Amino acid sequence: MEITPHISRLARFFLARPGGRFYVTEIADHLGVDNRGTMSRTLARMEKAGWLASSLQSSTPGAAPPDRAARRRYYWLVPAGVEPARAAATVHSDDNVVI
């Protein structure tokens, strides 16, 4: 996978929060990113490469039947993704990259 500035920045985000599970808006807000579409596609690429895992969860557990509840996709760094993420985090060190 080509290491883009977006991947490098997201790798740093996940490495700084081991064991954390985050949804797109949460990540975007922390990074100050407005383009959630690009971020979602980048996260999907990282998941396909085996760096991240994700699950779709109700945003308000118990508020509505699962098929009708608002849902969020949560992402987290998997053990197999730690080393590639560490390598990617050093490729682009400009924190001002906009996703």
Is the pTM of the predicted complex or chain greater than 0.75? yes
Q: Evaluate whether 83 touches 44 at the Cβ level (below 8 Å).
A: no
| For residue 63, pLDDT beyond 80 | no
Tokens of 64: 């509505």
Mean pLDDT confidence for 8-30: 94
- Domains of the chain: which residue ranges? 5-89
Mean pLDDT confidence for 5-30: 93
**pLDDT tens string 35-59:** 888 889 999 999 999 999 999 987 6
- Give 57's contacts (C-beta < 8 A, 6+ positions apart): 71, 72, 73, 74
Give the rounded percent of residues in the chain with a pLDDT score beyond 70: 82
Looking at 1.10.10.10, 3.90.226.30, 1.10.3720.10, 3.40.50.150, the CATH number of the domain 5-89 comes to 1.10.10.10
In the chain, beta strands by DSSP E: 22-23, 52-58, 71-77
Mean pLDDT confidence for 22-41: 90
